[in-house]
Chains A and B, each alone.
Chain A
Amino acid sequence: MTRTLLALIRRDFRLAIRSGGGFGLPLVFFLSVVVMTPFAAGPDLPLLARIGPAILWIGALLATLIGLDRLFAADAEDGSLDLLFGTPAPLPLLVLAKCAAHWIVTGLPLAAIAPLLGLMLNLPPEALGAVALTLLLGTPALTLLGAIGAALTVGLRRGGLLLPVLVLPMTVPVLIFGVSATNALILGTEAGPALSMLGALGLASLVLAPLAAAAALRASQS
């Protein structure tokens, strides 16, 4: 079964980097959000430093949604989703494997590039690592919650429009604790509780989101 899951991760990863557009697109979007902010808020460096963690988190949250509508829709269209239903591995685990592949292609690069963008936003040096760390902890939860929305809208022609409306309200707790943990790390105050909550949200969505997404996939295929 482990082989099945690893094969699925490898397949999705290859598809993402070879099919063009999928890989790197969230990064470009992330960069665009960060670039647009100084135009809207004004090139005031102290202000940018203060709201920098929030901008980076919002940018990462929105960038995670990119391509999420194709997470199951592409498989549903070419029929490989029906084949996945037929494999002996339980569907929630397969969903988890697909989420892992999607996270490696989107969430991980977002967390990796965040320090660089933080530099552009005049964040202090100690904040760069903090943003990368909290994004590393938080983006898996965002991907997993997004998978629920992707599974709910898999059969819809305009699913890509509906997906953010369904997913964004669910991501509010992750956003709150992600930003508050980042700010605590920057200011040097007690960051433990917020970081623990972020980890707890990640673990809870690791367990519950694949179940919900698998149920939604079954319901939309039948």
Chain B
Amino acid sequence: MSRLKASTPKSTSRPMIALANPARFNSISGRLLPWLTALTVIVLTAGLYQAFFVSPADYQQGETVRIMFVHVPAAWLSMFGWTLMSIASLGVLVWRHPLADVAAEAAAPIGAAFTLIALVTGSLWGRPMWGTWWEWDARLTSVLVLFLMYLGVIALRAALDEPSRAAKLVAILTLVGFINIPIIKFSVDWWNTLHQPASVIRMDGPTIHPDILVPLLVCAVGFTLLFVTLHLVVMRTELIRRRLRGLQRRAAEAR
């Protein structure tokens, strides 16, 4: 610990620079984490309660519309995860931020999990609505490709032994894969397919009734908080793992 503290950078006025020190990140995130966890539980409970007990069933889709309250936030977080990894990758390649690779590595499995949730809930929703478990439409297919890319990034990192090389190569692959994100976002606008077009974020305002929109937004905030909380926890674990690996190597060299 003392070794880490000794290398604290002098200019701590800019928050990103201040957080660049792993020890400082640890202490700040450690203090933040209980509050963030509590907030996540409160917002997520409120959102899911509203979604499942308060909000009315859709006049067309009936009770199955409630899948949306998990499906839509998961789909949005699947793209959020890759965007986060892309920003972190810029941090690795351009600014050589020491925590950027930790952030990128931690986000990959969480993003992959939310992508899988979006695919599975979409499939469960598609069965009663479209009469099929899986439809090869543009939005579904591009999200499936995103899931494959998450697995590719995780596989590439697992195949590389040297951490600094892995950091750069994974960052390059992440940035190349970012091209897929706008394709997913606009796939429902570019191609007329089964998946419904964008209805929350659009130029002329949402097209959803407030009774459903409000719980949906609360759920979206709740799941995003869950993502951020999990991300911080995994980042802290990853930092410990890396320090452990470093200590083991030093111990092996000393022998």
Contacts and interface: CB of A to CB of B under 8 A. Distances in A.
Given A169-B145, A169-B148, A220 B169 contact: yes
Contacts of B183: 173
B105 to A, nearest CB: 16
A48 interface: no
Q: Tell me if A's interface is mostly helix, strand, loop or mixed.
A: helix
Given A219-B165, A222-B165, A166 B156 contact: yes
B195 interface: no
A172 B156 CA distance: 20
Interface in A184-216: 212, 215-216
A148 B176 contact: yes
A131 B149 CA distance: 29
Nearest to A149: B173
Q: Tell me if B's interface is mostly helix, strand, loop or mixed.
A: helix
B112 to A, nearest CB: 13
A166 B168 contact: no
A156 interface: yes
Nearest to A170: B176
A128 interface: no
A158 interface: yes
B176 A212 contact: yes
B100 to A, nearest CB: 14
A196 to B, nearest CB: 15
B173 A166 contact: yes
Contacts of B149: 169
Nearest to B145: A169
A12 B248 CA distance: 44
A217 to B, nearest CB: 10
A133 B168 CA distance: 37
Contacts of A172: 141-142, 145
Contacts of A153: 156, 159
A216 B169 contact: yes
A155 B168 CA distance: 13
A79 to B, nearest CB: 18
B34 interface: no
A158 B158 CA distance: 12
Interface in B212-234: none
B32 interface: no
Contacts of A169: 145, 148-149, 152, 177, 180
B176 to A, nearest CB: 5
B151 interface: yes
Given A165-B151, A169-B152, A169-B177, A156 B160 contact: yes
Nearest to B150: A169
A26 B172 CA distance: 28
Contact of A165 (B152, B168, B169, B180): B152
8 contacts: A152-B156, A153-B159, A156-B159, A159-B159, A170-B176, A170-B177, A216-B168, A219-B165
Given A152-B173, A156-B159, 8 more contacts: A153-B159, A155-B165, A156-B160, A159-B159, A165-B152, A169-B180, A212-B172, A216-B172
